[in-house]
Structure 1
Amino acid sequence: MQTIDRWLEDYEIGETRDCGSRTITEADIVLHAGQTGDFFPHHMDAHWCATQPIGQRIAHGTLIMSVAVGMTAADINPQSMSYGYDRIRFTAPVFIGDTISVTATITEKVDHPRRPETHGVMHELVTVTNHRGETVLVLTHLYLVNRRGA
């Protein structure tokens, strides 16, 4: 990880980065259940899941979101910080042993509603796919970014 200074003006619409891949394990699911208190059988009970149409345990959507967002955090930028997330959709299940890959694309830059002269909000579309090429999660990560010379 390195520290970089990128101002709002430095980002280009359409700029895309590959954020790597990671295999989701049973340990990930168990740890996430313990941290969140979400012990729903869909995540924890293999025997119950075997009786359901999906047939096996699935990872928590919030686990996949957390892992994916963490994978996008490659560099430290003191000119930018997370401002929130919009349009979060869990579009397909992630199973134990699935390997997810993450890409992030700059889709929009807008003025900050209260401080347009010093800040902007950058929208980054985060797309998560599994090793079968299926999209499993999409979200828009919003960043509060300083303007150069503000």
Structure 2
Amino acid sequence: MEQKIYYEDYELGSTRTTIGRTITEADIVLHAGQTGDFFPHHMDAEFAKTTEFGKRIAHGTLTFSVAVGSTANVINPVAFSYGYDHLRFIRPVFIGDTIHTKVTIHNKEDHKKNPNMGIITERLEVINQNDETVLVADHLLMCQKKAAL
């Protein structure tokens, strides 16, 4: 779905929540193959039994990728991702956990060098099936202003 959402259209405090996605063993194996991260916490069930978690955990980068991907349901031709700040892995995600992402418009500011653009900060909270936050991050979105038209 394509929708033009300009800087001025974003309202501080507004939220949206994605649908859930269950993390599978296949997700972990594929992510390891794509990234080269075969760390035993993710891949070795016997090793993982000796850790504080007692079983394999999903890669933090896998959790982040799935969470961010679930938010990408609108194509906005007047905005683009400018990056992520303050990424933290709060709790582990296990095989079989279902996660969803809550997105809150946290901040708006003018771009320092381009008066036709603004930066929207979306606060991402990734939440598991037990209503526990497992990951947080701030998504910076570069967005055109209506005044630039």
Say whether the fold is shared (TM-score over 0.5).
yes
Deviation at 1:101, TM superposition (A): 1.2
1:127-142 alignment runs, 5 A limit? 127-142=125-140
**1:144 and 2:136 matched:** no
**1:54 and 2:53 matched:** yes
| Distance across 2 between alignment mates of 1:105 and 1:9 | 16
Find the counterpart in structure 2 of residue 85 from structure 1.
84
Find the counterpart in structure 2 of residue 126 from structure 1.
124
Taking only the aligned residue pairs, the percentage that are identical comes to 56
The runs of at least 4 aligned residues of structure 1 exceeding 2 Å deviation read none
Stretches of structure 1 lacking an aligned partner (at least 5 in a row): none
SS for the counterpart of 2:21 is strand
Aligned residues: 148
Give me the TM-score of the superposition, normalised by structure 2: 0.98
Deviation at 1:51, TM superposition (A): 2.0
SS for the counterpart of 2:147 is coil
Q: How big is the alpha-carbon RMSD for the aligned residues of Structure 1 and Structure 2?
A: 0.7
Give me the TM-score of the superposition, normalised by structure 1: 0.97
